[in-house]
Amino acid sequence: MGKKKLRRFAENATFENMFQRSYEELEEEGFENKGQWCSGFFHNQNPLILELACGKGEYTVELARKFPQKNFIGLDIKGARMWKGCKKSNGENLNNVAFIRTQIELIQFFFGKHEVDEIWITFPDPHLRKSRRKKRLTSPQFLQRYKPLLKEDAIIHLKTDDDVLFEFTKEVIYEYKHNIHLISEDVYRDKVQGPVTDIQTFYEQMWLEKGKRIKYISFTLNKSSMDE
């Protein structure tokens, strides 16, 4: 492991808004903020929003800036990447943002029943091989993991440049009869308003320069269908 990564990992351990737990620790000890993020950590009763596979935390931090009346948590397994968002949020004294270094498969250890108001999934790994469809963050398997954590009518947002992931997500939504709020195959052509177009990551800007279309879909889970 390079010295730069080691320095970032060491600094991550000093941030009060960065949480890292091993699977063994979660199994044996649980997680102290589960079920009480807003009251216990953020010290308010504001809505709790997650960004899954947050990468460098650019979207998480920008959402926190734009919506100070909401709490935001970015999750990713790459600690050296999240360091950037964590460093920035601490430097700006943003008190409505936190980060968790974890595999998304372990999300149920970190959040309580009906604790989450909203989920953003921005430019995740599309796992293009068919054998890895279950790894896609909008697969039925992952949606089933999110379901008990979400409040009634919680919205899930997907923003991606990948056609395969976008079409796959639509198929899952139609099959399980989830409720679509907004769908766009080109958010800038369709002039979608709000953080969907107001926030651009470094990689999104790069893809736009290459002529890629940015796709977006937001939906609410059909709870009865997911119980089948």
Q: Give catalytic residue positions.
A: 125
H helix or E strand, kind and range, residue 150 = strand 150-160
62, two tokens: 């920008």
**C-alpha closest to that of 120 among 217, 29, 204, 190:** 217
3-state secondary structure of 99: strand
Backbone CA torsion sign across 172, 175, 177, 181: positive
191 phi and psi angles, rounded to 5 deg? 55, 50
3-state class percentages of the chain: helix first, strand second, coil last, to nearest 5: 45, 20, 35
**Cβ neighbours of residue 88 under 8 Å, at least 6 residues apart?**
57, 61
Count the Cβ atoms, other than its own, within 10 Å of residue 196: 19
Residue 193 to residue 191: CA distance in whole angstroms: 6
